[in-house]
A and B are shown apart, each in its own frame.
Chain A
Amino acid sequence: MDIFNIYLLVSGIQFNVLLLILIGFCVGVLGGFFGVGGGWIVTPALNIFGFPMPFAIGTDLANIFGQSIGAVKKHHKMGNVDWKLGFISIITSVIGLEIGSETIMTLEKAGDVGTIVRWCYILFLFSVSSYMFYDYFLNRLKQSESKAQDQNKIPEKLHNINLPPMISFPASGIESVSIWIIFSIFLFTGFLSGFMGVGGGFIIMPALVYLIGLPTAIAVGTSLMTVLFSGAYGCFTYALKGRVELIAAFIILLGASIGAQVGATAVKYIKGYGIRLLFAIMIVFAGFSVVIEQIYKVSKVPFYQSFAGIILMGIAVTMSSIIIVKLIQGAIKEKNYS
C-alpha cells in the first residue's frame, strides 16, 4: 500500500492517506453528531500511528476548526445553536481553563501529575456515563408507565435559585436563570477542561443537558459552536509554533468535513435520549481506553498503549457506523411517510 503513503514535511514522517481520511471521517461523524471536537480520538490515533505528540495535537486542532464550520452552519439551520449561551460559555470557560491549567502547574511541582489527571479523567468519564445511563433507563421505565418526560431535575432546581441578575435564553427555551449559575457552570467545565487537558465539547455537552437543561440537539449545536472557537484559537497558536502539519490536516479534513455533515444531519433523525445513550456508551469506552493507558504507564508494556488506541479507533468506527445506519433508516422512514 506504499502508493497511498505520503511524506509529511513538517514532522518528517511517512503516513497513509487512506488512514488519515478514515480517521477524519469517523471523527467528523462523531463531532457533528455529539457536538465534540474529537481530539480525544484523533490525537492518540495519530500519535499511535507515528505522529509526534505536538504535531498530533496541532494537526487535530486544525481539523477540528475546519470540520466544525460546516457542522455549526448545519446545526444553526436546524435551530440547534444558542449563540448567546455559547458566547457566555466561551468567555467564562477561558477563565476556568486558566485556573485548571494553573492547578496542573502547581501539582506538577508536587510530583507525578499525569497519574492524578488520568484518574480524575477516568472518574469523570465513568460518573458522567453512569448518570446518563441511569437517566436513560429511568426515562424508558417511566415511558412504559406513562407519558415520557425529562427525568433530570437538576436544571429545574438551578433555575429556581433567585440570585440577580437573571438572564433568559429564548433559543434554548430557558425563561429565567441566574447569570451566576451559568458563570459557575462554565467556570467549572472550563476548569475541568484545563485540568484534564481535554477539549470543551466533551465536557460542555453533558453540562448543557444535565446542569442547564437544554434539549439535547441544542446542547449538541451550542457545544459545537464553542468547539469551533476553541479549535480556531488552538489551530492558530499551534500553527504559529510550527506544530500544524498542513498537508495532513488538509487530508484529514477531506474526510472530516464530509463526516461532520453526515453526523449533524443524523441529529434530525434521532431523538434526544437516543443521542444521550450513544454518547454515554462512547464515553464508557473512552474511559476504558484511559484505564488501559494507565496500565501501560505502570507496566510499560507497549501492547497496552496500542490496545488503548485500538479501543478508541474501534469505538469511533463502530459509533460512526451506527450513526450512519440510523441516518439512512430515518431518511427512508421520512420518505415513506411523505
Chain B
Amino acid sequence: MKINKLMVLLVFGLLFTYGYSTTNEVNIKNSKQETTLNNKINTENLSGINLWVAKLYNNDRILYAIIVILVMASLGSIMAFGTDLVLKFFGMSVTRISHNE
C-alpha cells in the first residue's frame, strides 16, 4: 500500500511538471502577441466569489490551476464520502467482491 501511495505521488508529480513545462513553452512562444491564451475576464460588475475567481484567473494562472485541482479533488472526495454514507444507509455498502463473469 505504501508503494502504491509513493507511485501515485511520483506519477502525479511527473505529470504536473510535464504539463507545466509544455504549457509554459506555449506561453513563451505566444508572449509577444495577444492570443486567446492571454484571455482576461472583465471584472466590472463582479463581486464576491465571482470577483475572487476572476482576479485569480487574470493575475496568476499557475495558482488558478492549483486551485482548480484542489477544488476538484476536495469536492470529489467530500461528495463521494457523503454519497457513500447515503448508499450505506440504504444497505448498499461495498466490500471485496468475487469476480464472476
Contact = CB atoms under 8 A, between A and B. Distances in A.
A254 interface: yes
Contact of A9 (B36, B53, B81): B53
A232 interface: yes
A218 B64 contact: no
Given A10-B57, A69-B77, A254-B79, A233 B16 contact: yes
Contact of B37 (A65, A73, A74, A242): A242
Contacts of B80: 69-71, 73-74, 257, 260-261
Contact of A253 (B76, B97, B101): B76
Contacts of B100: 271-272
Contacts, number: 169
Interface string A134-173: 0000000000000010100000000000000000000001
Interface stretch (A119-127, A286-294, A314-322, A327-335): A327-335
A48 interface: no
Contact of B83 (A65, A250, A261): A261
B73 interface: yes
Interface in A241-268: 241-242, 244, 246-247, 249-250, 253-254, 257-258, 260-262, 264-265, 267-268
Contacts of B73: 65-66, 69
Given A70-B77, A215-B101, A271-B100, A235 B72 contact: yes
Interface size class of B (residues with CB under 8 A): 35 or more
A335 B91 contact: yes
A258 B83 contact: yes
Main secondary structure of the interface of A (DSSP, over half): helix
Nearest to B45: A7
B50 interface: yes
30 contacts: A9-B46, A63-B72, A65-B76, A69-B73, A69-B76, A70-B83, A74-B84, A77-B95, A77-B96, A78-B96, A90-B11, A91-B11, A215-B99, A229-B12, A232-B69, A233-B15, A236-B69, A239-B69, A240-B62, A241-B26, A242-B37, A246-B53, A246-B68, A253-B75, A257-B80, A258-B79, A265-B94, A272-B101, A331-B90, A335-B91
Interface of A: 7, 9-10, 54, 62-63, 65-71, 73-74, 77-80, 83, 87, 90-91, 148, 150, 173, 215-218, 229, 232-233, 235-237, 239-242, 244, 246-247, 249-250, 253-254, 257-258, 260-262, 264-265, 267-268, 271-273, 327, 331, 334-335
Interface of B: 4, 7, 11-12, 15-16, 18-20, 22-23, 26, 36-37, 39, 41, 46, 50, 53-54, 57, 61-62, 64-65, 67-69, 71-73, 75-77, 79-81, 83-84, 87, 90-92, 94-97, 99-101
Q: A-B pairs with the 5 shortest C-beta distances?
A: A70-B80, A66-B76, A257-B79, A215-B99, A239-B65
